[in-house]
Amino acid sequence: MKNIPELIIPASSSTTTTTADEDNNWDDWSSDINWCQVSGDFRSDLPSFILPTAISSYPAGEADHLAGAHAIHDWSYPSTTTNSHATTPSTEGPTRNELYNFNEPTSVSPRLIHLLIAAAEAISGDQKSPHLARVILVRLREIIPTDHAAASGIERLASHFTEALLALLDNPHQPHQPATPTGEVLIAFKLLHDMSPCVSFGHLTANQAILEAIAGERRVHILDYDIGEGVQWASLIQALISKSSPAAPHLRITALTNGIKGSASGAQEVGRRLSAFAASVGQPFSFRICRLDHTKRFTPAAIKVVKGEALVVNCVLQPAQLSSAASLTSFLTGAVALGPRILTIIEEESTPFVARAERGFVGEFMDEVERYMAIWESLETGFPMQGRVREMVERVILRPRIAAAVARAYGRQDGGEVAAERCGEWMAAVGFERLELSSFNVCQAQLLLGLFNDGFCIDKDSPNKLALRWKSRRLLSASVWGLPPPPSPSASLPF
């Protein structure tokens, strides 16, 4: 801890509370979604998939057939899937040129990508030319079909990056993003959950580690850096109910909000629905919001820790939610002071690290293009006949993430504060140590991938971390951390 720069941590944070007394039901999120199907028993079943028998009841090596034993929507999966998931990096995978041309005529993909890169170069660099950038982006709008449902995958991808760059030109400091109705967001989120392991992989790995860490506890408190739609905790609630005997532990969730307009009200709504869902299944539950201060820093004093509670800290780091290096540093340092039982991190993976100053905006922009090309390719390869479904997921879920990633990259080169990535590399410095993932947790993640296209693979970088990749492109990772046990008083006594 001696090498960590001293952080100035504010001493106040406003909070609000919701309880399970409101007459609401989890299914109110959308009439088209069975949210009990999204949540799942993480010890016996994979989330949102109907498996014939509990995974834990199968001896090692005898559960492979579960990959095909699922009952879901007709459009969701190919009729047959074969998969062999290695836990070491593979040299096979798409090259940059292959990514630029997936399922498209060779004259279309490179042209769109080259225009995007040219626009990014015109926006940044020593010789900025906003006018040239706007001309290029307007030309891109003319090339791409206005009807996204009729456009190809690469055209829709190029359109979303085009709009992200135009938003930067209009307001570089706070690009405007149109709001999407909550019901549509939840439907799209459920569709993505069924189409790709990118949603459930991190939740599955983190929740299993949490369940193992809190086994036997009567009170559990989760401090969540980004609660999102709350689906991760709906799954955990169902797991606690199904596995607890004689009664489930009391679960308390504190959701951090970053002060962005609408974040507190959104978290409040998630808390209301989680409270209603917990009440419907008999799970003792309470919910609270903690707002970061005006400098977007976290103070441990704002978190009420009850004696006898097992504290869990969870971080889901995405471009749309990631604030700044100072904000994240204050949170991780504050988490050490709170003394959690376990800390789980779900984060997006970047290409092999290169100094940000050397890459610049264009380099980071190209990295994001390649990242989302891999996601687009995975969806299109697995569901080639479901274009309209993919278009909805892309527009509602992935478009805002693309816009946030582009704005974040631009903010760095424009003198903005550098956001923290690969925060797992910070953990040892602030006082955490790696907690080894159980063999059950690793096996469970591999079984999850068996339900999807065989282009998805798992890398195990270290005993505490699993990474999800599409062919050669890493997409996200989940890691587990804990604090070392305090030194024994007898250890300091002289012999």
Average pLDDT over residues 263-269: 85
Question: Residue 191 has what pLDDT?
Answer: 92
Higher pLDDT, 202 or 43: 202
pLDDT at 423: 62
pTM (2 d.p.)? 0.75
Q: Predicted confidence band at 91 (pLDDT cuts at 50, 70, 90)?
A: very low
* Residue 261: band (very low, low, confident or very high) from pLDDT cuts 50, 70, 90: low
The mean pLDDT of the chain is: 75
Q: Which residue has the tokens 């080894």?
A: 436
What does the pLDDT read at residue 231?
Answer: 87
- Which of 250-254, 261-265, 473-477 is the most confident on average? 250-254
For residue range 205-254, list pLDDT tens digits in order.
999 999 999 999 999 999 998 888 888 999 999 999 988 667 889 999 99
Q: What is the pLDDT of residue 262?
A: 66
- The predicted pLDDT at position 488 comes to 61
The pLDDT tens digits for 355-370 are 455 668 898 899 899 9
Q: Which of 50-54, 94-98, 346-350 has the lowest mean pLDDT?
A: 50-54
Among residues 188, 189, 244, 182, the alpha carbon closest in space to that of 217 is found at 244
Dihedral of alpha carbons 324, 325, 327, 332, sign: positive
Distance of CA 120 to the CA centre of its chain: 26
Top-confidence residue, 108 or 207: 207
Using 50, 70 and 90 to split pLDDT, how confident is the model at 17? very low
Per residue in 195-216, pLDDT (tens digit) is 999 989 999 999 999 999 999 9
DSSP structure string for 226-281 = --TTSHHHHHHHHHHHHH-SSSPPEEEEEEEE-S-TTHHHHHHHHHHHHHHHHHHH
Neighbours of 123 (CB within 10 A): 26
- What is the average per-residue pLDDT within 267-286? 94
Distance of alpha carbon 11 from alpha carbon 383, whole angstroms = 50
What tens digit of pLDDT does each residue of 321-343 get? 554 667 778 888 899 999 999 99
pLDDT band at 182 (very low <50, low <70, confident <90, very high): confident
pLDDT for the residue 427: 83
Give the pLDDT of residue 451: 92
pLDDT of residue 331: 86
Q: What pLDDT was estimated at residue 171?
A: 82
Residues 6 or more apart whose Cβ sits within 8 Å of residue 232: 203, 206, 207, 314, 316
Query: Which range has the top average pLDDT, 131-140, 286-295, 313-322?
Result: 131-140
Average pLDDT over residues 249-272: 86
Tell me the mean pLDDT in the region 41-63. 32
Average pLDDT over residues 148-167: 90
Write the Ramachandran bin of 76: left for phi over 0, alpha for psi from -120 to 50, otherwise beta.
alpha
Q: Is the pLDDT of residue 348 over 60?
A: yes
Residue 489: the pLDDT is 58
Q: Name the pLDDT band for 479 (thresholds 50, 70, 90).
A: very high
Q: Are 493 and 480 in contact (CB under 8 A)?
A: no
Task: Check: CB of residue 237 under 8 Å from CB of residue 283.
Answer: yes
Residue 449 three-state SS: helix
Q: Give just the sign of the alpha carbon dihedral 342, 346, 352, 356.
A: negative
State the average pLDDT over residues 156-182: 84
- pLDDT recorded at residue 326: 72
Find the range with the poorest average confidence among 68-72, 155-159, 432-436, 449-453: 68-72
Amino acid letter, residue 342: I
pLDDT at 425: 66
d(CA 453, CA 65): 15
Q: pLDDT digits over 400-452, tens only?
A: 999 988 988 887 654 444 444 456 667 878 889 999 999 999 999 999 999 99
Which H helix or E strand runs over 202? helix 197-213
Please determine, for residue 86, whether its predicted confidence score (pLDDT) is greater than 60.
no
